[in-house]
Structure 1
């Protein structure tokens, strides 16, 4: 009974505090706007349908606990299913494989040990020490916010997407390139920041087919 009475006393205070709390929106960086350009809706729709690809590039992670880089031998995306093959001295000389779908991952280390988890990001961190927003990267790599989380888009003076703020990360689009005919320019280099963590991804080649 005492716990119930205490709860009834606390609830009005929580309600009052909630009513007085406002969301703090950070000011826009110089030269940027959060107003999408005229062609943004069509561009987003086109990129949303771009769900089958193969790319190669490099990945670099910098964080207080550990830092390192890896070659992306391939990132094959087939709808929601992904297959990443990474090579890195940091991960152990050899090839590390990450295969999965949203909510599930199978990770194979260079020595052949395989681990499976319903929490992909936790699995990657446990195996490599890296904190990678793997569930969001499939969207961010195309220049799109991931569904399911609030986001804010920022555009530069050339009406190009410059930044996505989502899930506590700030994704900066450092360079765009026209990789594929029939599609808008795709990110060639992105930098994702969260506190003192940084993930940089450089794409050297995009292909529109998810085949080996």
Structure 2
């Protein structure tokens, strides 16, 4: 029963294997008990066969001696049976322990393989996730770089627009000044031309009148 209890406790999750092992242990124990009973019965029969011829001729002392001899033989046979039982029990326990150790070793190997498989899968998943994170970081960095470039272009365009606006304002002012100056100069020149034309016309009129004799 102790060996059976050890089987159940050690196997734990493998209840089917433990049940089979317990069944085999119980069958071996029953077979061992049957063999021991057969051997005890055979030893008793041999003792009776040895002692029976001595009963008729020796009287009471012979009968006591026969009983003592039979008792001694039974004790020897019982001792041999106990020794044999212990030997068989040791062998059976050793075999059971070996089988249990093999089962435990196989179970540990399966658990180890499963653990290594899970670890490899986890490592692969972590590697894939790290790769995805790296790609996302690259994309984010590219977007940031593009945003910075776009911002720089916008700033450059705004600067050019402001510069162009200032230049246009200066050009407008210069043009207005040039137009005003040109208009004033033109007005002054036209005034001079009109005065000269009037003077010339007056001189021509006077000359014509002199020639005609009016003056």
TM-score range, shorter chain: under 0.3
- Whichever structure has more strand as a proportion of its residues is 1
Per the normalisation by structure 1, the TM-score is 0.17
TM-score by length of 2: 0.17
Higher helix share: 2
Does 1 or 2 have the higher relative contact order (CA < 8 Å, sep 6+)?
1
